[in-house]
Amino acid sequence: MNIKLRYWAISLMAVVIAATTACSGINGGMTGKSRQSAPQPEATAPSAPGTPGTLSGSNVGMLNADDGRIPFVDLDGKSYISAQKLAGLLEFQTDWDPSAGKLLMGDNDVEYELTGGSREAMKEGNAVTLAETPRVSDGALYIPVDLLPDLFADEIFYEVRGGEIVLRANPDGMDKAVMHQPPEPEGKVDELSFVDDPDDPFKTAAEAAGSGLPYADKAVWAVPLGYEDAIPALKNIDMNKLISTAQRYKGVKYKFGAAPYAESGRFDCSTFTQYVYGKQGISLPRLARTQARQGVLVSRKMLRKGDLMFFYVPGRFKTNKTVGHVGIYMGNNKMIHSSPAPDNGVQISDINHSYWKKTFLSAKRVGT
């Protein structure tokens, strides 16, 4: 009896040791096809430098989780990408008219207007004739891949890899949620702070007394991409009257791509500045990007009432060098503008705020 018990104990121990050894093996106790390694990103070599729409240099690497990808769609043997998907990755606002096959895209005003079946388009307020034709399919607009360099080279960094477009994330991108944080402490002045020109003829004595001068001797601005050659258009106007006019429209709701105010009763960022300046006899172009080409460049350290202020709108896959928003400086770190955020509509914002400081591109003086 003791011999039998000893035999079964030894046998049981052998089974346990075998099972333990199997479970501690390299393949977790599984062999052959019963276990597969986790899929690894394909180490695809970057496209050749100089290829339209591709990246070169230190920013080019293998695909990673930060990349934005849009697969090609084959339509009659030609490669297209979804315009709506591209707009989504760029965090553009859109207005899609399926009956006309027309898509409007942009930050806070319409920077692109594309129509399915037509080579005629609008880019930054200018009529352009496209080399190829966008198409409507399954209720959405599709852009030929070959058009991307002409349309979006200034907006994004991307590569063509296999059967998809790969958008590179902006390493200097900023989370737009910063906009909802409180302003910085009053009186704090640093290199990026906005400072009033003490010689502004439209400042009251009380306002002039409160002007800070640190950094006022420095010309601190960031010229937007391709906006080096401004068009002087100065005209003598009463800036206090202009700001008073602007304030009368506080609370008017924002609408992307708004038609003229008399027709729509709404503003986007550039129709608001265009309308207010138009009341003072100064004609501005329709879009923020084209308005940024007007007037005389002004340092953020020498601002006056009525100066136009231009900002980029941050996005994960966008450059931070293109104008996406415009407002009117009111003095004392206040700006009046039409925007969907932080409120919806014409609003006054305190620009002594990290969001506005970091997204500022330039200020232009179009009246004096």
Enzyme catalytic residues: 269, 325, 337
Token pair of 286, please?
Answer: 């329709």
Alpha carbons 109 and 257: distance in angstroms, whole number: 6
Alpha carbons 72 and 251: distance in angstroms, whole number: 43
Of 285, 272, 200, 212, which Cα lies nearest the Cα of 239?
200
Q: Return the ∠ at Cα 97 (arms to 91 and 100), rounded to 5°.
A: 135
- Kindly give the interhelix angle for 269-279 and 239-247, rounded to the nearest 10 degrees: 130
Alpha carbons 364 and 298: distance in angstroms, whole number: 6
User: Given phi > 0 = left and psi -120 to 50 = alpha, else beta, which region is 67?
Assistant: beta
Distances (CA, A) of 30 to 13, 22, 36, 38: 21, 8, 10, 15
Say whether 337 sits in a helix, a strand or coil. Answer: strand
- Print the SS3 string covering 239-306: HHHHHHHHHCCCCCCECCCCCCHHHHCCECHHHHHHHHHHHCCCCCCCCHHHHCCECEEECCCCECCC
- Burial status of residue 224 (CB atoms within 10 A of its CB: 0-12, 13-18, 19 or more): buried
